[in-house]
Structures are given as C-alpha cells and as structure tokens.
Amino acid sequence: MPESKLRILVIGAHPDDCDVSAGGVATLYRQLGHSVRFVSVTNGESGHQRIHGEELADIRRKEAAAAGELLGIRYDVLNHRDGYLLPTLEARDEIIGLIRDERPDLILTHRPNDYHPDHRYTSQLVCDAAYMVTVPAVVTDAPALRDNPVIAYVADDFMRPYPFSPTVVVDIEPVLSSVIDLLDCHKSQFYDWLPYNFQTEDEVPDDPIARREWMGEWYCRRIVSRADRFRDQLIAIYGEAAGGRVRYVEAFEPCEYGSPLTEENRRKLFPFLP
C-alpha cells in the first residue's frame, strides 16, 4: 500500500468511455494500491442498433459492473439519458455532490470540444463544478472541499478550436492486455454497436477468443499514432532510448479550471512515471 493513497476520479459520458480513455492509467494506479472510481454520466440507453431504452441501459450497467469488478473499483452509471444530456443546474449539482463525496486528487474527463454532445456536456459539467466544489453555499447537503482538485482532459484527435495538448503522456503497453480485458467487458459496444456504426460488423468473429483479439487490434490501431504525435513528451519523460520505443500511450491535458497541474504535483499524481 502506498504511503499516501491517491484518489482518482474518471468521469466519462457513457459506460466504456472511462475504460477506453483511461483504462491504462487506471490499471497502473490500481497496481500501486491507489483508489480509482469510474463514473458514466449517462445510462448508455441509446448506443445500440437493435436494443434501446431501459433494456440496453440494464445491459450496459452490468457491463460496467463487470469492468469495475475486474479492475477492483467502483463503477457508477448515472441515470441521465444517453444522447439527451444537458448541462443543467440539477446535473451540475449532482456532479458537485459526486466530486465532494469522492474527494479526488485528480479528475479525468473529456475535452469540451468533441464530436458527441454528451462528451461535450460531461466536460462542461465537470468544468462548471470545478470551482463550485469549494463553495459551501452551493449544494449545502454535501460538505464543500477546501481544495479544488486537479482536472485533466483525456486524449482525442480533434483539431478545432485547438488540438489536444498534453503535458502528461503515459506508456500503457505494459498493461495493454489488461486494458483490452476491460474493453472486452463492454460487449454490446465493441462487438455490436461500434462495428455497426463503423460499418465493420461483418468483420467481428463469432469465437470469443478471436473476437477479443480482433477488438484488441482495433484498439491498438486507434491509439498507435499518438505515440509518434507526442514523441517529444515521451522522450522528455522516459528518456531518449525508452521514450523512442513507446508505441501505445494515454495522454492528459490540464484543465485550467481545476488546481494547476505543476511539475511538482505531476510526480505525485502520476507516480508510475519515471
């Protein structure tokens, strides 16, 4: 057990968003004995080509629970409707209460510019909650925090209004198989909905082992370009030789609405970095 146990809160818009964006660092934190909590702000009821509504939401809650059990963490799925999320005052109060309940050292979430409105509004809700978590007169039934947590955005490939600009890049290849195991828990997404959405459903194998391998190859293709994109940061963090060999990464950009992510607290908040 580490001398000082970190509390990491990952807030995604949908069940599986936390896993696909931060499953690697979540695994690294857990290996070191730190606390991780995943939260899906929506219930996932719309993300399937055949199954909708509460039937799908129930499936996705169970898939999230399986991923949480595999990682040994709490995985919450809130009740906001998938595809209908809005940054209302009521939703903001819920996020404020959730953050106060968790008392995280670090929050990871989407950037505000993203293709999916649920991603954008999840980010807005977290950003809008950032300062408010320290204000006692807001959400009075949950004790206010004295310190604003550090907030960082997970990686994406969008270029406007500005491209993703990380200051922390993490080699996740040592835990890549564990990340794929997490994604494999979300079967309705990675073997049904996303292949349908990408029009690759004919490629999905029937055999569970072959299916997991197929999905792992898809995931690796999805993220492999980021190592070269952030090669300078990798070399600065891991050194010329090791940083030059890294192939699969997760990366994080500080959000200026939380407490600053400094060189000093970066070493504390990402203890698996050299």
- Give the torsion through C-alpha atoms of 180, 184, 185, 191, to 10 deg: 150
Cis, peptide link before residue 174, omega less than 30° from 0: no
Euclidean distance between CA atoms 166 and 144, whole angstroms: 29
Q: Is the dihedral of CA 111, 85, 189, 197 positive or negative?
A: negative
User: 224-257 burial string, b = 16+ CB within 10 Å, else e?
Assistant: eebbebbeebbbebbeeeebeebebbbbbbbbee
Nearest to 165 by CA among 107, 226, 123: 226
Determine, yes or no, domain membership for 274: no
User: What distances in angstroms separate CA 93 from CA 88, 90, 230, one per listed residue?
Assistant: 9, 5, 36
Q: Is residue 2 part of a domain?
A: no
Q: Which residue type, as a one-letter code, is found at position 237?
A: I
| Bridge pairing between strands 106-109 and 7-12 | parallel
Cα gap 78→94, rounded to integer Å: 10
Q: What is the DSSP letter of 102?
A: H
Low-confidence residues of the chain, pLDDT below 70? Answer: 1-3
Residue 106 to residues 46, 102, 148, 176, 216, Cα–Cα distance (Å): 29, 10, 10, 22, 28
d(CA 19, CA 108): 12
In a domain, 116, yes or no: yes
Task: Give the residue numbers spanning the domain of 173.
Answer: 7-269
Q: How many CB atoms lie within 10 A of CB 269?
A: 21
Evaluate whether residue 1 is within a structural domain. Answer: no
Give the pLDDT score at 1: 58
| 264 part of a folded domain | yes
The pLDDT assigned to 4 comes to 86
Total domains, the chain: 1
The percent of residues above 90 in pLDDT, for the chain, comes to 98
Bridge partners (DSSP) of residue 169 are 251
CATH number for the domain spanning 192: value is 3.40.50.10320
* Residue 13 forms part of a structural domain: yes
The reply to whether 152 falls in a domain is yes
156: in domain: yes
Cα–Cα distance for residue pair 126/12, rounded to 1 Å: 10
Tens of pLDDT, residues 152-161 = 999 999 999 9
Q: How confident is the model at residue 3, as a pLDDT? A: 66
* CA atoms in the 13 A half-sphere facing the CB of 191: 19
